[in-house]
Structure 1
Amino acid sequence: MKEAVPAHELRAQVATVLIAAGSTTEEAATVASNLVLANLCGHDSHGVGMLPRYIDAVLEGGLKPNRGVRTVLDLGSMLTLDGQRGYGQVVGEQAMDMGIARAKIHGSCIMTLANAHHLGRIGHLAEMAVAQGLVSLHFVNVLSRPVVAPHGGADGRFGTNPCCIGIPLKGRALSDAGPLRASSAPTGGSEPHEVGSVGAHFILDFATSRVAQGKMRVAHNEGRLVEPGTLIDEQGLPTTDPGVVVVPQSNGLFGALLAFGEHKGYGMAVAGELLGGALSGSGTWHKPADPAVSAVINGMLTILIDPAKLGTQASFEQEAVAFVDWLKAGPVAPGFDAVQIAGDPERAARAQRGKEGLVLDPQTWREIVSAGRKVGVTLRD
């Protein structure tokens, strides 16, 4: 796909494949919109390039279409939920709706979500919370092929285990529309709300590996090398070839990503495994990998806080904005255009890509076309 495609057209094509794979029209719209939203935000690693893996997971039985979140335990301000291996884009939003409602009543909510298929971009869940004036913290583990090496280790032992923190900044909304909720967008037609529809809040969303696994897939498909210090090969030696974590090497083994910040990122990754995996009941990784399995299972611990109920809302709103203003008022270093906060790059990408459309590399599009054929859908090459 060499030409830019409007987001709504790409969304419609993805939804068509999902429906053919067994999803209802509503579920397909939610998942497709969430994937395209990730592309719009500049995170192609979590965008429509994931569709081929999702289709394989459905066909293998590891991903269950049309499954909703199940309540295991409800203590008011504490929720234990199970995603039943449904699409993470669906059960993740359902879980957040429940948690947000409880935090509004009780002032806070501690929520675990187990057995969700790939939740996608966790920042979307944080955007849902900050749009309601809530602070949100998310710790996530990833049950799939282990692709990240422990600090001091020479092979993959766990996943990219993301951490996400959302903090609302009063008066910084770009519009009154709130976040572009994945399930609110239709699969066709024009969408004027595509651009500038998310408040300018603090949305810190990062993998605990130096880069996300999906970014290695994108780099491999584009034929690019990656920065030194990002990867080790199947022998445990440094490499810049992203293919070592995308396709099996000559000995059938894979290389591994490295954690960011040496022991610091590694510690965050372990915390994500223990909190998102062990505490949620979703499980942790401690077995040999089966590279033939396509399912990606996430467990997540979410903590939601309502500053209005905490009694510090006025000072919180004032001090948070004052600090961000202080950061941005400083001199700009050579090589940078501006001082930014977490969430700014995604908002800029969303504005630009919403206007210009989305471009996928040819290999990623070929994989999507192939996925469509597996469920009887013909997409244009």
Structure 2
Amino acid sequence: MIVPQSTLRTFTQNIFLAMGCSVEHAHLAADVLIRSDMRGIDSHGVARLSGYVLLWDKKRINPTPNITIVHQTPTTATVDGDAGLGLVVAPFAMQIAIEKAEKYGSGWVSVRNSNHFGISGYHALMAVERDMIGFAMTNASPLVAPTFSNERMLGTNPMCYAFPAANYPPVVVDMATSAAANGKLEIAQRAGKSVPEGWIQDSDGNFTTDPHALKNGGSLLPLGSDREHGSHKGFGLSATVDILSAVLSGANYGPWVPPFVSFLDPPTDPVGLGIGHFLGAMRVDGFRPVDEFKTHMDNWVNRFKSAQKIDPNQGVIIPGEPEFEAEQERTITGIPLVDAVVKDLNELALRFGIEMLH
């Protein structure tokens, strides 16, 4: 099914309103999810809506949070999200980072007591809109085993860096630090397909292509898959995200992070509050004039796009380019939804008395 973004946006806002969110928060939360679908990151868009409702059902999401700054200096802050939607808490924190950057050149905000915040790129791009370099990362449900282990200790722990350009779209490096995001397993599950070898291991630590392996005690693998292919680097990146997002803020870290997935229960011995994020903004003109930087960003993109091709039909893909192209296309054509997602959304519509998708 292809759904116009305006229809899907209204539908999503109505679900958040039915959960008790304010109009402002419902609009913002819907915007984060719809932006994900518009950018072609279907695993983190409205396909996740039923997951947020499930957390709300379990009283793990506060629809009316009192988001507060609990510690700050001129350039840094720690925010307590009061168990609110990460889709709302993270933009609040990024706005603080941007305001600090406007005054002092850079701003850095750690967040505790939050929930899943959608795509990292949404938050990092908030800084780009102000001619700043944006940073956004979060820890997540422990589904990833560190190198040489079969115990789930870390989340997919995404990180994003976003850079403004002049005539080209922003360069956006938005990636999980695992071999694959859990959302890609969910897509494979809905489609009834296997996943590539190297994404996931079974409970004994052997590679498997079964997208349901997590439910049977398996674990995702770090970026690199195994030591011979650099999994220790993925583990190191994931550890960095976990420490900045949670050890620094007072959120739960490592295996204590409360899960987003429905088949796992929260740990009974938490070491912090909720999940954690880390967001940052740096003014480009703190280093050189903005126009000069953007001109050279365009030159950077031009040179990499003109790199010698191995396959004449496949050139270098600039980070963020596929998402930009998807957003342009879906602005015109609408957002494609697979049958399993439509079914989930219509079940929510029936529950909350909202018009179903047709």
Alignment of 1:367 onto 2:344: yes
Aligned equivalent of 1:328: 305
| Distance across 1 between alignment mates of 2:313 and 2:44 | 26
Aligned equivalent of 1:264: 233
| Distance across 1 between alignment mates of 2:68 and 2:181 | 29
Amino acid at match of 1:164: C
Question: Is the Cα–Cα contact under 8 Å of residues 232 and 238 in structure 1 kept in the other structure?
Answer: yes
Secondary structure of the structure 1 residue equivalent to 2:317: coil
Aligned equivalent of 2:228: none
Aligned equivalent of 1:79: 77
CA shift in 2, pair 1:12/1:294, >3 Å: farther
Question: Is the Cα–Cα contact under 8 Å of residues 342 and 357 in structure 2 kept in the other structure?
Answer: no
Identity of aligned residues (%): 28
Q: What are the equivalent positions in structure 2 for 1:261-340 lying under 5 Å apart?
A: 261=224, 262-287=231-256, 291-293=263-265, 297-311=274-288, 313=290, 316-334=293-311, 336-340=313-317
CA shift in 2, pair 1:238/1:289, >3 Å: farther
Alignment of 1:21 onto 2:19: yes
CA shift in 2, pair 1:164/1:227, >3 Å: same
- 5+ residue gaps in structure 2? 225-230, 268-272
CA shift in 2, pair 1:259/1:319, >3 Å: same
Amino acid at match of 2:113: N
CA drift of 1:332 comes to 2.9
Aligned equivalent of 1:111: 109
- 5+ residue gaps in structure 1? 173-199
Q: What are the equivalent positions in structure 2 for 1:1-381 lying under 5 Å apart?
A: 3-142=1-140, 144=141, 146-172=142-168, 200-245=169-214, 248-249=215-216, 254-261=217-224, 262-287=231-256, 291-293=263-265, 297-311=274-288, 313=290, 316-334=293-311, 336-377=313-354, 379-380=356-357
| Distance across 2 between alignment mates of 1:297 and 1:333 | 46
| Distance across 2 between alignment mates of 1:211 and 1:364 | 20
| Distance across 1 between alignment mates of 2:110 and 2:291 | 29
Secondary structure of the structure 2 residue equivalent to 1:80: strand
Deviations 1:309-341 (A, max 9, x none): 235656544443322221112233317543221
Question: Is the Cα–Cα contact under 8 Å of residues 57 and 294 in structure 1 kept in the other structure?
Answer: no
Which one scores higher on RCO, CA 8 angstroms, separation ≥ 6? 1
| Distance across 2 between alignment mates of 1:378 and 1:31 | 19
Aligned equivalent of 1:197: none
What TM-score results when the alignment is normalised by the length of structure 1? 0.84
CA shift in 2, pair 1:336/1:79, >3 Å: farther
Task: Give the aligned length.
Answer: 344
CA drift of 1:29 comes to 1.9
CA shift in 2, pair 1:62/1:97, >3 Å: same
Question: Is the Cα–Cα contact under 8 Å of residues 126 and 134 in structure 2 kept in the other structure?
Answer: no
CA drift of 1:171 comes to 3.9
Question: Is the Cα–Cα contact under 8 Å of residues 68 and 90 in structure 1 kept in the other structure?
Answer: no
| Distance across 1 between alignment mates of 2:23 and 2:100 | 29
CA shift in 2, pair 1:339/1:113, >3 Å: same
What TM-score results when the alignment is normalised by the length of structure 2? 0.89
Aligned equivalent of 1:189: none
How much is the aligned-residue C-alpha RMSD, in angstroms? 2.3
Secondary structure of the structure 1 residue equivalent to 2:212: helix
CA shift in 2, pair 1:53/1:171, >3 Å: same
Amino acid at match of 1:86: G
CA shift in 2, pair 1:233/1:27, >3 Å: same
